[in-house]
Structures are given as C-alpha cells and as structure tokens.
C-alpha cells in the first residue's frame, strides 16, 4: 500500500498570451505525506484512461459528467462515457457523478455510471456514500440498484447512515428495504442519535413504526435524550402513544434532568397523554410483550415469527 496520497494542482499551460481557458488546465499530482485515513487519501479503482494515468482519481471542478448525471441527461452521459470521460472524477468536496445522480434519483444515470466502473461506496467530504444520497432523495429504485451492485448498507460512518437519511426523508419504502437487507437499527450519529431519533424528530410515524416493529431500541439515548423526548418536543400525541406502547420510558431524564412530559405545555393534548400513562401503567400483557421484544432485540420480527407458540400470540408480539 502506498504511504502517501496525491493531490492535484491545476497548472495553466503557458502560452504567448498566458490566458488559457479553464477547460485547458492540466491536473498534475504532487506527493504529500498524508495518513491513509485522511479524506485526501481515498483510493479510486481504475475505470478509464484518466484512471490509468491518475490512479487515485483527480480533484477538479464540476465536470460535464457531473452535470449530465445531475440533470439526468442519459444520452449525453452515455456519449461522455464512450468518449473516455472519467466516471470517478471528484470535485473539491469529493462529490462524484454517482453521488450527483443518486441524490437526484436519476436511476438510469446511476446504472450507466456503475456499469462504467463508478465506485459504489465512494465518500464525499462529509463521509456520505451514494447510497446515503439515494436514501436522502427517497428514490427506492436508486437504492435497489446501488444495493444490487454491492453498496454497503452499514458503511463505517460516524455521521448519518443510509437508514438515518431514509428516516430523515420520511421514505418508508426505503426504510423497509434497508431493514430487510440488514441495516443497523442502532447506528449512532453524533448529531442526530439513532434512526429512531431522526424519524421522531421529523414526525415520520410510518418510519417510526417500521423501526419499532423491527426491534429498534425505543429507549436509546442521545445525551440521555430519548425518542420520547423528541415526540414531546414536537407535540405529537400519536407519536407519544406509539412510543409508550412499545415500551418508551416516560420517566427517562435527559442531560438537563427533564422528563419528556416536562417539554409539554400544561393542559395540552400531549401533556394529558403523559398524565394518562402516568396514572394508567401498561397492562401485564403489554409489559410481557415489551419484555419479550426487548429480549429479541434487533430483527425482533424475524425471531418472534420462529417461536413455537400460537399464531395469535405471534401476531400480538408483532403488534399486528
């Protein structure tokens, strides 16, 4: 493995008037002693002539390939690829044409780029992969194409995962697909917390229910703040009830020492909802269901379905 990364320096060819156009700049490479884990040290697999000449991918302004992918210009993109344009070119913020196409749900462009050798798990300056961007766009077709080409559903990120992005967008179809292929329900983002935190903060009830039924930890904390705190802050009674039914702790305190009910207005519907559950605890059967599901953990539905118990109990444990 190489011990240094390469950074391009765009140098203008000197002519008599020394006024070459931007399109005539030549990307050159200068070795730098940078650790391989730095963003500058990302590796790019050769896919065309420019990759052979510059095997690490090169830093440029937006290219025609980026623009074609972004706009969904399929014919133009095909022509660019056939003429030898690099599909792994990166901008200064490490965005590839595949990022552009994925973020805008341009499924056909995504297919063309992948077929031409685009790196499916390339990361931009924020660490996001094309799968993250496809989930952010809510394009289930783009998500399927990327997954079929080996995109990692759980990339090693410290920021938002593909599941976080799908929950933020509110795309329940993408959320279900990611769960089905093994997305980590407890992936933790340093800013947002878990995907459940995100879905609750954005009030995407369909996504919240999918996560909870799949076995997401209802009491997972971000700075001691649970999903129930988010539900209280957005004043969503249906969300509060759903979380409590799945075992949400109404007495959990955040880093400010506040319970979820402390974020509600007196006599408001959400305040009355919390008051009701404080006076009326869950029934024994409900507590048993919460306990069994907690023991099942992630992939709770799959595990419960295999239990040697009456179908009626399986449906009850599955919240069907």
Strands 5-11, 26-32: pairing is antiparallel
Higher-confidence residue: 253 or 298? 253
* 253 within some domain: yes
For every residue of the chain, which 3-state class applies, written as one string?
A: CCCCEEEEEEECCCCCCCCCCHHHCEEEEEEECCCCCCHHHCCCCCCCHHHHHCCCCCECCCCHHHHHHHHCCHHHHHHHHHCCCCCCCECCCCCCHHHHHHHCCCHHHHHHHHHCCCCCCCCCCCCCCHHHHHHHHCCHHHHHHHHHCCCCCCCCCCCCCHHHHHHHHCCHHHHHHHHHCCCCCCCCECCCECHHHHHHHCCCHHHHHHHHHHCCCCCCCECCECHHHHHHHCCCHHHHHHHHHCCCCCCCCCCCCCCHHHHCCCCCHHHHHHHHHHHCCCCHHHHHHHHHHHHHCCCHHHHHHCCCCCHHHHHHHCCC
Per-residue confidence band for 297, with pLDDT thresholds at 50, 70 and 90: confident
Rounded distance between C-alpha atoms, residue 205 and residue 209, angstroms:
6
* Residue range 252-278: mean pLDDT, rounded: 94
194: domain range? 153-279
Nearest in space to 200 (alpha carbons), one of 166, 236, 148, 165: 236
pLDDT at position 25 over 90: no
* 57 within some domain: no
What six digits make up the tokens of 139? Answer: 């394009």
Per-residue confidence band for 276, with pLDDT thresholds at 50, 70 and 90: very high
pLDDT in tens, 216-230: 999 999 888 999 999
Nearest in space to 95 (alpha carbons), one of 68, 133, 138, 52: 133
| pLDDT for res 60 | 54
* 136 within some domain: no
Q: Which residues pair with 189 in a beta bridge?
A: 193
Nearest in space to 197 (alpha carbons), one of 260, 139, 124: 260
Token pair 């930890």 is at which residue?
217
What six digits make up the tokens of 271? Answer: 């305040």
Rounded distance between C-alpha atoms, residue 180 and residue 173, angstroms:
11
Q: Are 142 and 171 in contact (CB under 8 A)?
A: no
| pLDDT for res 126 | 87
What's the domain count of the chain?
1
pLDDT at position 138 over 80: yes
* 261 within some domain: yes
Per-residue confidence band for 2, with pLDDT thresholds at 50, 70 and 90: very low
pLDDT in tens, 49-99: 343 333 334 445 789 999 999 999 999 999 999 999 999 999 988 999 999
* 44 within some domain: no
pLDDT in tens, 142-200: 999 999 999 999 988 778 899 999 999 999 999 999 999 999 999 998 888 999 999 99
What six digits make up the tokens of 154? Answer: 């759980």
| pLDDT for res 16 | 35
For every residue of 294-320, which 3-state class applies, written as one string?
A: HHHCCCHHHHHHCCCCCHHHHHHHCCC
* 88 within some domain: no
Q: What is the dihedral of CA 134, 116, 183, 101, to 10 degrees?
A: 0
Q: Are 134 and 102 in contact (CB under 8 A)?
A: yes
CATH for 230: 1.25.40.20
* 194 within some domain: yes
* 165 within some domain: yes
- Report the predicted TM-score, pTM, of the whole model to 2 decimal places: 0.78
């Amino acid at each position: 493995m190489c011990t240094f990364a390469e950074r391009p320096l765009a140098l203008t060819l000197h002519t008599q008037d020394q006024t070459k156009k931007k399109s005539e700049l030549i990307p050159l490479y200068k070795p730098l002693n940078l650790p391989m884990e730095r963003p500058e040290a990302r590796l790019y697999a050769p896919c065309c002539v420019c990759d052979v000449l510059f095997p690490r991918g090169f830093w440029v302004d937006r290219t025609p390939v980026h623009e074609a992918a972004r706009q969904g210009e399929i014919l133009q993109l095909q022509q660019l690829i056939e003429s030898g344009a690099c599909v792994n070119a990166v901008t200064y913020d490490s965005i590839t044409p595949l990022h552009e196409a994925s973020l805008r749900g341009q499924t056909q462009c995504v297919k063309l780029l992948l077929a031409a050798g685009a790196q499916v798990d390339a990361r931009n300056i924020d660490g996001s992969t094309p799968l993250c961007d496809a989930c952010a766009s809510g394009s289930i077709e783009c998500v399927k194409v990327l997954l079929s080409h080996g995109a990692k559903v759980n990339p090693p990120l410290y920021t938002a995962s593909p599941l976080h992005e799908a929950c933020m967008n509110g795309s329940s179809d993408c959320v279900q697909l990611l769960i089905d292929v093994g997305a980590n329900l407890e992936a933790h983002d340093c800013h947002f917390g878990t995907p459940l935190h995100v879905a609750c903060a954005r009030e995407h009830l369909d996504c919240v229910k999918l996560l909870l039924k799949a076995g997401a930890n209802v009491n997972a904390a971000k700075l001691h703040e649970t999903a129930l705190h988010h539900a209280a802050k957005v004043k969503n009674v249906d969300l509060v009830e759903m979380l409590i039914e799945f075992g949400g702790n109404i007495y959990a305190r955040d880093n400010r020492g506040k319970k979820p009910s402390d974020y509600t207005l007196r006599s408001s519907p959400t305040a009355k909802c919390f008051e009701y559950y404080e006076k009326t605890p869950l029934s024994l059967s409900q507590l048993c269901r919460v306990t069994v599901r907690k023991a099942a953990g992630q992939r709770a539905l799959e595990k419960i379905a295999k239990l040697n118990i009456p179908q009626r109990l399986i449906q009850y444990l599955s919240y069907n």
